[in-house]
Every structure is written in C-alpha cells, then in structure tokens.
Structure 1
Amino acid sequence: MQEQKTDPALLRYVAFSADPAGGNPAGVVLDATGFDEPAMAATAAEVGFSETAFVVPQDDGTLRIRYFSPRTEVPFCGHATIATAVAYAERHGVGELRLRTKAGLVHVSTDRTPDGRVVATLESVPTRMAPVPEDALAALLDALRWPAADLDPALPPRAAYAGAWHPVIAAGTRERLAALDYDMPALAALMARHDWATVDLVWRETPVVFHARNPFPPGGVVEDPATGAAAAALGGYLRELRLVPLPARVTVHQGYDMGRPSTIEVGIPAQRAGGVTVTGTAVPLPG
C-alpha cells in the first residue's frame, strides 16, 4: 500500500476479517464535520483504499455518511459501513446506528462476541433486480475474457441492487473464478455506461456457500477483497429467483485468490420487502 501521512481524524480498519492481513481495508472519519466534497475525495485518493467513509453526526441522532473510492463517490459501501460501525462502537459502546446514505437509511447494530470482538450487522435498503441486456452481457464477458460456456446455467446473469448496482455473473467452476485476467479499461467504460459499482463474480460451492471476486475498475481498484454491498445484492438476487430456501443464511468467501481472505455472512428474509442483512467484524490496521 502507498505511504500515507498521519491524520488523527482518519482511522484505518480491515472489514470482514479478524486478522489485519485479511479482509478489505477502509478509511473511516468518524466526524467529518467541516469536510467538503473535494476534501473527502482528496483524502480517499491519498489513503488509496477501495473506500473511505466520512461520517457527520446529525441533530436527530442519525449519522450522515458518504463513501469515496480513490476515483469516485459511491452511494453505498458495505465493508466501509461495517468498519465505521465497529470503530464507532469501540469508542461509544455497542448498540444501534442509523446511517443516512445516498442510497437511503441503513440500520446497523453492533454487539460483542464472548472473546470481546465487535461484530456489526447492517440491514440493506430494499433490494431490486433487473436483466442484463444481451449486448451488455456480451461486452462484459468479452472484457472478462470469459466464454459464455463457462457460466453456471443455474444462476442466470442479472443486475442486482442493495444500495448500488452489481451484475451477478456465476462461474461454472472454481477454476473459472480463480482465473481472473480482465481488460480493465474496457470493463471500466462498460460499468460507467450501466452505473455498475462492482461486478459480482461468484461460484456456488453449496446451496448456501459462495465464493466471490469483485472487479472494481470504476474506483481505480483491480479487485475488491470483500464487498458487503455486492453480498447484500447477491442475497436479494437469490431471494428474487428463489435459489435458496427462505429465510436463508448464506456465507460468502471473498479475497482468497488475492491473499486477503474475507468472510461475509448474509441473512435473507423471506419477505421481499425486507432488507438483506450483512454481518462481519472489523479490526484496526496496525501503525
């Protein structure tokens, strides 16, 4: 990672792992009062993580939160939300938080495990799903350099939303998922045209265990090690297509192919109107 200057307002956490060597790093500013948009963008670019979260406490007890990648603002970010909630709980105690994101109001609860770790659970905004147009799918597979024959026919391509849009593309084998070598400029241009945050590439190990990889070229990141927003979108996708018995608890393993193992727990309620939950821990980065 790039050298970073010391800023007492900026915290650095890893989400979806109890080991700082795993998970997805996120920057967190718990009180960004006085930060304007250029300052947020510049801070996120300097930190260089896939996202940095900026929190501004509101008079009604809610927390307004914005998420910036090194290149752009995103409406919602799951791993930075988990990191923010854990950082907040470590300083103010566990409990309930209400986050005002650009995607809508997100409820987050925190609690402590018997060994003292803080675990956070967010409830997504209502999920949605849309078809991926044939020409967009062809361009996506071409950018990924994935033949259509390598996809899992039981998990059809769809665009899924739980605060941000992610096309869900299922590989037929673990080997296909492991072989990620894509055309970054082509994929970035395609994602910009369709307003896709990341591409959620998945392989189904069992009905309730998935492995995922998430290219994130719009944010200037080749691959995200743990993507809570995409995991929530995957939960909505599985519910909408009735691909798991409901209610369901799904585990998503991500980051293993890039040496940053992450575990994301996804709760899928049976009610279509209910938000999908995403659970994980976070730990501070040393130094």
Structure 2
Amino acid sequence: MLDRVKKVAVFTTAPTKGNPAGVVLNADELSSAEMQGIAKKVGLSETVFCLKSEQSRLRLRFFMPDKETPLCGHGTIGAVWLFLKERDNLVSQTITVETKAGQLSLNYDELTEELTMSQCPYQSHPFKEDRAALCQVLGISETDLSEELPLEYGSTGVWTLLVPVKKAELLGKMQADNQLFPDVLTDYPYASIHPYAPSQKDGIDYEARHFSSATAGVKEDPVTGTASGSMVGALANSNKLDQLELTIEQGASLGKAGLVRACALNNQSTGEYAISISGRCCLGDF
C-alpha cells in the first residue's frame, strides 16, 4: 500500500524543504486501522487520506504515526494541491473539504501558485500552569519569555500552547522533552507547544518552532499551518486589531525552512477572528 502514498512538500517550492505530508488519493476502501498502519510506516508528522464526501469536494482524514487528528493545516493544503495537480486542474478556483474539525474552504490562485485555506475561528484559553516548569521542558529560562506577547492555548481546530520568547535566536537553542508535556499542560495534556519570536529577517514577521504532543509519534513539525493560524489569531486578539497578516518562517532549525502567510480578520458582529493560512507546494521525494 505504501506505493500509493505521494509526498508533498508544503509551504515551500523546494522538494526537501517545508513540511512534508504523505497523501493518499481515492482512499475510500481503506479502514481506519489500515490508514493508521500506513501513516505509521510512512513516518511523517501527518499522512492525509482523501475520500468522497456528500457535502464537499473531498473528505480528508489525517493520521499521525500514532493517532488520528481532526485537522492538519499543511496536510490539507498538500492534499488539495495534489488532488488538483493530478487532475491537471491547478487553475484559480475555490474548493471545499470536509474534515472532523468542520467544513473548510480553500482558494487556489494560479498567479501566486498559493493555496489559501480558511480555518475555524480562533479560540483561546489562558495558560494558568507553572511557567518555570514549562520553560524547563523547553530548555529555556523563565526570563526568556516575552512579557509583551500572548502566552496562551490557541486553536483553529487543534489546540496548541503558544509560547512567545524575546529573541528568535532562542528558538534554535530549545531542546524540548515532549514526554513531559502532559505533566505541564494540565488543562490540555495532549496539546503541542508552539514557541515563537519576532524576526529580524527581511520580509519575515515572526519565526517559530512546533513541538508535537506527547502522543503524536514525532517530536517536531517543521512548518505548521494550524499553529500559524492560532499565532495570528492570538496576536490580533491581544492587540484588538480588526485585521492582521503575518509572514511566518518555521523549520529553519531543522534545515527545512518554509513560509506561511497567516491572516486574521475580525468579524464585527460576532467578535470572532476568521483565520486563513496560505502557502505553496511541490512534490517531494521519499
């Protein structure tokens, strides 16, 4: 079955950069157990299975090596890009997909070659646990935490802890102990941790890393779409902005640098932030 898996590099145009996702098209005949087995053998942070949907163009299921997850940003973008490419249909259009986190809309722009993915409205939960313990599992000191940026749990479909630090150089020095995350993240024991910092690089607003949850089966995700969506939501909300667009670099410490463009737009009637992420893709090599 592994010969059916194609590798898509997401948030990059270089086959060995960005965040790779495994994608299996026409996967309706596969059982959940078979999908999980394939994802474990593939060994990427997520493998996406494309199925028929009665309400959308596609139904997507996302499997980490050790468990299914309701949503994956880079997996969604990679799967839709491959779906369109295989049909020689990479032209400007909008496509809807069904996921366990809800129905989502993606727009492909043939001029920029970007796919823009809508996400669920931003949700947040304050971090009330021990900051010193949090820093210890990340290998930093408490004085490294930024006092100006929001430290909170965020979700646009999957919960992650957003951890702002003062300088981007600190990101590369982190040595996370994922197995200790549940002891520290008592409100959301199986959340991931997403440290970030302002960037000094031209054209980049923030740099980030993403340490996977204790049960994900992988230690770190190179470039994450859902967490980038939570980042822009948290920053827009903390500054009470009507709209915020960011360019985020992630994966540099792993040699897989990729770029995510993330946008938050306040809905004046509900007070919620609509979130979208954008990126480019290419075929990768196993």
TM-score computed with the length of structure 1 as normaliser: 0.89
SS in 1 for 2:229: helix
Contact 2:123 2:155 in 1 (8 A): yes
Equivalent residues in 2 for 1:47-66, closer than 5 Å: 47-66=42-61
One-letter amino acid of the counterpart of residue 59, structure 1: E
Deviation by residue 1:219-239 (Cα, 9 ceiling, x = unmatched): 122211100000011111112
Q: Percent identity, aligned pairs only? A: 27
Q: Are 1:283 and 2:269 matched, yes or no?
A: no
Aligned match of 1:183: 177
Q: Specify every segment of 5 or more residues in structure 1 that has no aligned partner in the other structure, as ranges.
A: none
Aligned match of 1:146: 140
SS in 2 for 1:276: strand
Contact 2:48 2:76 in 1 (8 A): yes
Aligned match of 1:131: 126
One-letter amino acid of the counterpart of residue 151, structure 1: L
Give 1:143 shift: 1.1
Aligned match of 1:43: 38
Aligned match of 1:221: 218
Q: Are 1:239 and 2:236 matched, yes or no?
A: yes
> Separation in 2 of the partners of 1:261 and 1:49?
16
> Separation in 1 of the partners of 2:55 and 2:178?
43
Contact 2:162 2:196 in 1 (8 A): yes
> Separation in 2 of the partners of 1:180 and 1:222?
12
Equivalent of 2:264 in 237, 243, 268? 268
SS in 1 for 2:65: coil
Aligned match of 2:110: 112
> Separation in 1 of the partners of 2:129 and 2:79?
38
Contact 2:8 2:22 in 1 (8 A): yes
Structure 1 residues 236 and 208: alpha-carbon distance in aligned structure 2, compared to 1, 3 A threshold: farther
Question: Displaced runs of 4+ in structure 1, greater than 4 A?
Answer: 188-193
Aligned match of 2:70: 75
> Separation in 2 of the partners of 1:102 and 1:60?
13
> Separation in 2 of the partners of 1:214 and 1:179?
13
One-letter amino acid of the counterpart of residue 167, structure 2: T
> Separation in 2 of the partners of 1:19 and 1:267?
24
> Separation in 1 of the partners of 2:245 and 2:216?
29
Q: Are 1:250 and 2:246 matched, yes or no?
A: yes
One-letter amino acid of the counterpart of residue 163, structure 1: G
Give 1:60 shift: 3.5
SS in 2 for 1:199: strand
Give 1:138 shift: 3.8
**Number of aligned residue pairs:** 277
Contact 1:209 1:251 in 2 (8 A): yes
> Separation in 1 of the partners of 2:32 and 2:146?
42
Equivalent residues in 2 for 1:71-110, closer than 5 Å: 71-92=66-87, 93=89, 94=91, 95-110=93-108
Contact 2:2 2:38 in 1 (8 A): no
> Separation in 2 of the partners of 1:236 and 1:191?
20
TM-score computed with the length of structure 2 as normaliser: 0.90
> Separation in 2 of the partners of 1:81 and 1:261?
19
Name the stretch that deviates more: 197-206 or 259-268: 197-206
CA RMSD of aligned residues (A): 2.1
SS in 2 for 1:214: coil
SS in 2 for 1:218: coil
> Separation in 2 of the partners of 1:279 and 1:131?
27
